Structure 1
Amino acid sequence: MRYKIGKNILLTVFALLILVPVTMIFFTTFKTTGQMYESPLGLPTSFDFENYFSLFQNQNMGTYFSNSVIVTLVSVFTTIFFASLVAFAITRIGGVLGGVIFAIFSIGMMVPAQVNMIPLYNLVYNLGLTNSLVGLMLVNISVTLPVAVFILSGFMKTLPKELFEACTIDGANNWLIYRKIAIPLSLPSISATAIFLFVMHWNDLLYPLLFITKDDRKTLPLALLEFQGEYLTNYPMLFTGVMIASAPMILTYLFLQRYFIAGMTAGSVKG
């Protein structure tokens, strides 16, 4: 009984630590800069959407939003596709060779992103892909592919090998087994990985800051820096941009939470 009460108290405190700042940010989006500095913790005088309209009408937010959507979706789907192929290959090959391939991709997770900044910039610059969404997507895919391979290969190794062997005996080739067996069974893990990658790419600031300077190529995190000045920060507009940027992540999790939870718990219990 005491354990249950203590658990509920901790969960309540944790929920408040999240809800209180989010609520304050939400209310600030309906204030002007003067109102925010005058009463940072108070309620707005009116609940109009002037800041939201202003972002799209005066700040080119529609372009930034669409750039983030394109970069994120293409990066996630492409990474998942190639990572699932590699994970399936590692599972099918097995043995020493499969372990070596897995180790090569795992090494890619050990190198901090900051260490690769200069050589990566030189590579992208020499390829003529700076200020290009294509270049940004290629960088995102190459950086997050090892993480996706690590997660998906760990799940696919739990799939029964007897199922693959039975399909092979029935005459199915590896491509057919991958499409009809491995992918459907791995959907929970794929969905969990997709959500994880979506958050990484959507919130990424380092690589857009490194490769993008043109205004029409900026993504949302990079565009939000415009509201921060050396002496004054437009917090109402900044928080409005944060709310807009957070909406796709919240919706994605709400639609895929069932798969996300299943993917996080998959393989933890073996029959």
Structure 2
Amino acid sequence: MKGTKYGLILIYAAIIIIPIFAIFLTTFKTIAEMYENVLGLPERFSVSNYISIFKDQSMGLYFQNSSIVTLVSVFLTLFFASLIAFAITRIGGVLSAAVFGFFTLGMMIPAQVNMIPLYQLIFQLKLTNSLVGLMIVNIAATLPVAVFILTGFMKTLPKSLFEAGSIDGAGNWLMYRKIALPLSLPSLSATAIFLFVMHWNDLLYPLLFITKDEYKTLPLALLEFQGEYMTNYPMLFTGVMIASAPLIIAYIFLQKYFIAGMTAGSVKG
């Protein structure tokens, strides 16, 4: 039984690793080499694709735009969501349930349904072709799910800690900073990784609001390597590897917090 389990794990790992390895090898090939032998090794491991994508394709600018939009969106979403989650857990009663239900409803509406009214709103506010407009939309789109996750965790925090803080004269803001935030670090980290992946990989909103090259993000810029009759796969895969690097690094450094956050709310404290 144990051998079967490990065998299935190895098969699953191979299904994931082999395509990634093939993509990585392709970044060192020319277009001709790729079509001659998709899974084979390149004749020589040249980094010309990596140099070209930054020198000729403005990948540095696109990387910068994605970094700014993602980091600001994640930070502000976590800040607002943690405040709202703290307020929901502190208020209690019908009002708390109503506020939580309001944000839960926001998770049920597909982003595609809002595209036309959302574009009209952003256009009227003159925030198209703007990183600020993109951040505002990202925050509004992911705030409900962040509130849902953080509220579920903060409800498990011992009420006695907040009661002790009130007795000592601490206000809600102080209890939020000194009690709720430190204890919610695992859940905040897990939510941060989740939001980071969503914002970093988002293509829908940049495709909807961004038309000028200087405001393009990485997912939108990668579309430039797809032509009507031919796709430059080595350059496209090089861009994919560059775009994936921050996600891999973030997960490596926040891995223990992510695992802790996923299980933090499973047992009532």
1:168 equivalent in structure 2? 166
Deviation at 1:137, TM superposition (A): 0.3
User: CA deviation digits over 1:207-246, x for unaligned, max 9?
Assistant: 0000000001000000000000010000000000000000
1:122 equivalent in structure 2? 120
- What code does the residue aligned with 2:202 have? D
**Equivalent residue for 1:91, pick from 85, 89, 92:** 89
1:251 equivalent in structure 2? 249
The number of equivalent residue pairs is 269
Deviation at 1:267, TM superposition (A): 2.0
Ranges of 4+ aligned residues in structure 1 off by more than 6 Å? none
**Equivalent residue for 1:104, pick from 99, 102, 105:** 102
Determine the C-alpha separation between the residues in 1 that align with 2:181 and 2:104. 22
* Residue pairs, 1:179-194, within 5 angstroms: 179-194=177-192
* Residue pairs, 1:132-151, within 5 angstroms: 132-151=130-149
TM-score using structure 1 length = 0.98
Gaps of 5+ in 2: none
Deviation at 1:269, TM superposition (A): 2.5
Deviation at 1:140, TM superposition (A): 0.1
Determine the C-alpha separation between the residues in 1 that align with 2:268 and 2:204. 40
What SS does structure 2 have at the residue aligned with 1:59?
Answer: coil
Instruction: State, as a whole percentage, how many aligned pairs show the same letter.
Output: 74
1:10 aligns with 2:8: yes
Determine the C-alpha separation between the residues in 1 that align with 2:265 and 2:223. 41
What SS does structure 2 have at the residue aligned with 1:172?
Answer: coil
User: CA deviation digits over 1:18-39, x for unaligned, max 9?
Assistant: 1000000000000000111111
2:151 equivalent in structure 1? 153
Determine the C-alpha separation between the residues in 2 that align with 1:36 and 1:220. 23
User: CA deviation digits over 1:179-232, x for unaligned, max 9?
Assistant: 000000000000000000000000000000000000010000000000000100
1:69 equivalent in structure 2? 67
- What code does the residue aligned with 1:224 have? L
Question: What is the RMSD of the two structures over their aligned residues, measured on CA atoms?
Answer: 0.7
2:50 equivalent in structure 1? 52
1:113 equivalent in structure 2? 111
